[in-house]
Amino acid sequence: MRAAALRNGPSPVPTPIDSIVEVRGISKTYGNVEALRGIDLDFPRGKLTSLLGPSGCGKTTLLKIIAGLIRADGGTVAINGKTVSAPGPERAFVFQDFALMPWATVLRNVAFGLELRGTSRAEREEIARRYIAEVGLAGFEDKYPHELSGGMRQRVGLARALSVDADVLLLDEPFSAVDEQNRRKFQEDLIRLRTNQNKTFIFVTHSIEEAVYISDRIVLLSPRPGRVSQIIEPEIDRSGDPEHIHRDKHYLDTVEEIWQGLKQYVE
């Protein structure tokens, strides 16, 4: 039995029944470097999809195009069937370097998305407190970012993204600046969060293990120019103890398989 269902080639993937984000023919060039070429992708609603690939494959660029932070040279991004070209309230972004306001408390940082939307102070702080507790930071509301560890800072970033109640959460290598122990804990929390919150996650990572561990779906990108080389749906049972996943045979096989596919791009 195969550990994962594999589909090969850049040929268009059959559209899943309900996709919330549709990417069509996205291309992007920086100077004379072609970062992305003709990307067609669908992101199923309520699932966690990872964009995985070696550095230089344009995965962060693609995520920022979906976020509306970078303008694509060609192609369209549609959220819930509507074409978008700028950031919108249905998407929330989690940054690799946290992007917290160092002069503001945890509470204000988490509530900042709502503050920008003009939500009243009492209401936004109540919502923020709820999500601060949700990510396990209750009691740290009045602390400043520099008083927190890297892992805790990223929890603030995650709580901020959750509190605006967006349908799609875009995470740009959220754990790369977090130490190993915290990363493991964070990944477990993310699996739990995804079950609790009915949200779609798009997750950029360069770690194969991380992608297989948390994803419903993995999009492998190949570099120069960035293209979709493979889509993998790891069939891993995440209902039990997350500790067991790391020893699961399907998990290990899938990691190995992806590594074999990516090896050619590593010098």
Partner 1 sequence: MTLFGYRIPMMASLLVWCVVWEIVGRLNLVFLLPPFSEVLAAAVDLVQTPSWQKATITTLRAFAMGMTLSIVIGVPLGILMGRVKIADDLLGMWVNIFSSAPLSAIVPVLMILFGFGEKTIVAAVFLFAIWIIVLDTRAGVRHISPSLIEMARSYGASRPALYTKIILWAALPEILAGIRLGLIRGVKGVVIGQLLVAIVGYGALFETFSRNFRMAEFWALTIILFAFALMIAELIERAEAKVEYYAGARQ
Is position 96 an interface residue for partner 1 (rule: CB under 8 A)? yes
Q: Which residues contact 196 (CB under 8 A, 6 or more apart)?
A: none
CB distance 63 to 51 below 8 Å: yes
Closest CB 85 distance from partner 1, rounded Å: 13
Q: Residues for the chain: how many in total?
A: 267
Q: Is 93 in the site for partner 1 (CB under 8 A)?
A: yes
Residue from 88, 136, 151, 261 that binds partner 1 (CB under 8 A)?
Answer: 88
Beta bridge partners of 233: 5
Number of residues that bind partner 1 (CB under 8 A): 28
Q: Is 192 in the site for partner 1 (CB under 8 A)?
A: no
Report the b/e string of 226-265 with b at 16+ CB within 10 A: bbbbbbbbbebebeeebeebeebebbebbbebbeebbeeb
Site string (45-74) toward partner 1, x via CB under 8 A: -------------------x--xxx-----
Q: Is the dihedral of CA 44, 45, 46, 51 positive or negative?
A: positive
Could you give phi then psi for residue 75, rounded to 5 degrees?
95, 175
Q: Which is nearer to partner 1, 74 or 89 (CB)?
A: 89
Select from 34, 40, 97, 216 the one that contacts partner 1 (CB under 8 A).
97
The residue (of 114 and 232) whose beta carbon lies closer to partner 1 is 114
Nearer Cβ to partner 1 (98/201): 98
Beta bridge partners of 176: none
Among 117, 121, 244, 246, binds partner 1 (CB under 8 A): 117
Where do contacts with partner 1 occur on this chain (CB under 8 A)?
64, 67-69, 87-89, 91-93, 95-99, 101-103, 112-113, 115-117, 144-146, 160, 164
